[in-house]
Amino acid sequence: MTPLQKKRLSYIPKKPTILADLNAITFAEKGATEAIGDKGEIQKRFPQTYGRPLIKMTHGKGGASKPLKVGVVLSGGQAAGGHNVITGLFDALKKIHPESHLFGFLGGPSGIVDGKYRDLSEDELANYRNQGGFDLIGSGRTKIESEEQFAKSLEVAKALELNGLVVIGGDDSNTNAALLAEYFIDKGCKTRVIGVPKTIDGDLQNEHVAISFGFDTACKTYSEMIGNIARDALSAKKYTHFIKLMGRSASHIALECALQTQPNYVLIGEEVEAKNQTLQAIAQDLIDVIERRGKEGKNYGVILIPEGLIEFIPEMKTLIQELNMLLAQEGGSIEGLSAPSKKTFDYLPKEIQDQLLLDRDPHGNVQVSHIQTEMLLSHVVKAELKKRNFQGKFNAIHHFFGYEGRSCFPSNFDATYCYSLGIVSALLIREGFTGYMSCVTNLREPVEAWGVIGIPITSLMNMEVRKGKEKPVIQKALVDLKGQAFKRFARDRDKWKLQDHYQFPGPIQFEGDPSYTDQIPKILS
Ligand code: FBP
């Protein structure tokens, strides 16, 4: 282990005051809930768990202190802090009763279906406290959807006599948690299923979940790198850096990194959609900035591009939707494309065409992280600059910051937030709740003042088309163009275009002044 790894093992995350004594905690009901959309259909699909109340943790006498058997699974992409959810869960279960067991399902949801697990011990967990990655038990993207998969999961839950199952995942994985909860009740199985909001993308947020875990660490890591690139650009003055940032559909990561680093140009997918901007229109606006900078002798710059941008460009969105439908069909091909989509497809460089046809993820989504939007944009910009007889210099360098930010040491914020989420999950199971998402509130306040609630997962759902079929899903939260964070960005961004207002956040700090160790995401502040 490196010295920093060892040092982080001994970091003790603070706890909200409400979690100080686990025996003196209960949940109060806050009124029945309903789905955010397609209420009738969601109720029909979740007859047992639909409409359950929002619950708030309060002081009171908690459930009996008997041993609990709980399974935990990491689902989907890595996000810093996952190991701390597991250690928080483990510590809370052992506090509830020393003979409690935590089983880690291996390799993601397929571990539940196939009954592949490990009984986790304190000795094993001791090496993973406050560490990045998901390597303790691994993760995966299997979606539990067939009757056979549900039945096998049930058998495993019964064989292990699980009191609870904690699904640590994004919107699709939490939808899966709700489906399992419903199925288990239906089959008379006592296993309660709890979801935990994970994803660097930040698109699993709502009026209660301020942000999913992993977002803070990922954005701080990317912002460090963007700041470094900006300083390099400012020093060498010869490259225009096109930086694509991970984050799937929503542009939360791009917005947060923009606020942290103040680059010259930032695209926000949701704004592109609202303005109905075509690829050409986006390129023209960007070229204006490059030209004006060129006239001032600034033949360099830093441009941020959210990985989901491509899905917000109207003609590309239609093309992707058509491709998703066509490729979901048996032996599907691009032959069925409409005439306008065929035209869009033909206009794209061959590499981008190939990337659009790549395999879908198990949820039927196009894998936007595999599409080189940064190349596509610089390609179009270069061609247009030529047409405009641009006199300056344009040398594009491409970057994709994604995987670099998912498995690093969690920031103090993520380490602390995740540890609390783990404890809350244990308590929800002890108190008998199922189909709920663990939620820690008041994240803008000092940790001591954080609150705890449980959200019925069905209340976050609506119906959407996936793999060509109507499915109940948690609605993805996109950047709110009327929200404070976007407004701050929109107010300042013109200044950043010509003058250089780069900020250099530097690497994540774990010790020292709280002004740089404990900063929360700017989109929250
Ligand atoms: P989750 O939604 O599962 O948290 O994954 C997020 C993410 O990192 C996206 O930002 C990215 O598009 C995708 O995973 C990449 O997937 P993979 O890890 O399968 O390449």
Q: Which is the closest atom of ligand 1 to the Cα of 246? A: 10
Angle between helices 279-295 and 484-498 (to 10 degrees): 40
**Ligand 1, closest atom to CA 198?**
4
374: number of Cβ within 10 Å: 23
| pLDDT above 90 for 392 | no
Nearest ligand 1 atom to the CA of 79 is 4
State yes or no: pLDDT of 396 exceeds 70.
yes
pLDDT at 388: 87
- Rounded to whole angstroms, the Cα distance separating 12 from 10 reads 6
- Say how far apart CA 170 and CA 384 lie, in whole Å: 39
Distance of CA 355 from the midpoint of ligand 1 (Å): 16
Nearest CA residue ID for atom 4, ligand 1: 199
**Where is the binding site for Mg(2+), in residues?**
171
- Which residue type does 115 have? G
Residue 363 confidence (pLDDT) above 90: no
Beta-carbon count within 10 A of 313 CB: 25
Look at residue 180 and tell me whether its pLDDT is greater than 70: yes
Element (H, E) at 316: helix 314-328
* Residue (of 40, 46, 38) closest to 457 by Cα position: 46
- What residue owns the CA closest to ligand 1's atom 14? 77
Instruction: Name the residue of 201, 257, 373 whose CB sits within 8 Å of the most ligand 1 atoms, as the mutation to test its pocket.
Output: 201
* 70, HSE (Cβ side, Cα atoms, 13 Å): 38
Select from 248, 249, 363 the residue to mutate for testing ligand 1; criterion: most ligand atoms less than 8 Å from CB.
248
Using CA atoms of 53, 476, 170, 360 in order, give the dihedral in degrees to the nearest 10: 140
Please give the number of the atom of ligand 1 that sits closest to the Cα of 403. 8
Element (H, E) at 401: strand 396-401
Query: CATH 3.40.50.450 region(s) of the chain?
Result: 63-214+410-450
Q: Which distant-in-sequence residues (6+ apart) come within 8 Å of 484 by Cβ?
A: none
Q: What whole-number distance in Å separates Cα of residue 166 and Cα of residue 418?
A: 13
Residue 312 has a pLDDT of 94
- Express each pLDDT in 425-478 by its tens digit: 999 999 999 999 999 999 999 999 999 999 999 999 999 988 778 999 999 999
Q: How far apart are the CA of 512 and the centre of ligand 1, in A?
A: 32
- Using the mean position of ligand 1's atoms as its centre, give its distance from the Cα of residue 374 in Å: 18
pLDDT attached to residue 390 = 86
In the sheet that holds 265-266, the strands lie side by side as 265-266, 301-306, 240-245, 396-401
Find the residues whose C-beta lies inside 6 A of ligand 1. 76-77, 79, 141, 170, 199-201, 246-248, 307, 368-369, 406
- Give the pLDDT score at 334: 84
Angle, vertex CA 493, rays to CA 475 and CA 524, nearest 5: 45
The CA 309 to ligand 1 mean position distance, Å, reads 15
The answer to whether residues 252 and 201 touch, using CB atoms and an 8 Å cutoff, is yes
When the pLDDT of each residue in the chain is averaged and rounded to a whole number, the result is 95
Q: Average pLDDT for residues 495-513, to the nearest whole number?
A: 97
Would the pLDDT of 206 be above 90?
yes
What pLDDT score does 183 carry?
98
Ligand 1 mean position, distance from CA 470 (Å): 22
Cα dihedral value 230, 234, 240, 241, nearest 10: -20
Quick one: CA dihedral 208, 212, 213, 215, positive or negative?
Answer: negative
Residue numbering of the annotated binding site for diphosphate? 77
Structure tokens at 45: 């699909």
Task: Pick the residue whose CA is nearest to atom 8 on ligand 1.
Answer: 77
Q: Which fold has domain 219-406+481-506?
A: Rossmann fold (3.40.50)
User: Of 167, 164, 168, 166, nearest to 191 (Cα)?
Assistant: 164
Nearest to 71 by CA among 176, 194, 174, 189: 194
> Is residue 203 flagged as an active site residue?
no
Say if residue 299's pLDDT is above 90.
yes
CA distance 83 to 440: 17
CA distance 508 to 525: 18
- 330 pLDDT more than 90: no
Q: Mean pLDDT check: name the lowest of 99-108, 214-223, 329-338.
A: 329-338
Q: Give the distance (Å) from ligand 1 centre to CA of residue 248.
A: 7
Higher pLDDT, 392 or 51: 51
Of the CATH numbers 3.40.630.30, 3.40.50.150, 3.40.50.300, 3.40.50.450, which one belongs to the domain with range 63-214+410-450?
A: 3.40.50.450
pLDDT (mean) for 345-352: 89
Nearest atom in ligand 1 to the alpha carbon of residue 253 is 10
Residue nearest ligand 1's atom 16 by CA: 77
What is the residue type of 183? Y
Residue 362 confidence (pLDDT) above 70: no
- In this structure, the residue with its CA closest to atom 17 of ligand 1 is 77
> Does pLDDT of 30 surpass 90?
yes
Percent of the chain with pLDDT over 70: 99
Q: Using one digit for the tens of pLDDT, what is the confidence trace for 59-91? A: 988 777 899 999 999 999 999 999 999 999 999
For 258-276, what is each residue's pLDDT tens digit?
Answer: 999 999 999 999 999 999 9
Q: Where does CATH 3.40.50.460 sit in the chain? A: 219-406+481-506
Mean pLDDT across the stretch 487-516?
Answer: 97
Which residues make Cβ contacts (< 8 Å) with residue 84, sequence separation at least 6? 13, 129, 130, 410, 414, 415, 418, 419, 422
Ligand 1 site-directed mutation target among 74, 249, 369, most atoms within 8 Å of CB? 369
User: What CA–CA distance (Å, rounded) separates 441 from 403?
Assistant: 28
Q: Which residues are annotated as a binding site?
A: 77, 171, 199-201, 238-239, 246-248, 307, 403-406
- Marked catalytic residue, from 172, 201, 216, 500: 201
Q: What is the pLDDT of residue 364?
A: 65
Write down the pLDDT at residue 365: 67
pLDDT of the residue at 326 = 85
Q: Kindly report the protein residue whose alpha carbon is nearest to atom 12 of ligand 1.
A: 248
Q: How large is the angle between the packed helices 252-261 and 215-236, nearest 10 degrees?
A: 50
Residue whose Cα lies nearest atom 7 of ligand 1: it is 77
Q: How far is the CA of 370 from the centre of ligand 1 (A)?
A: 10
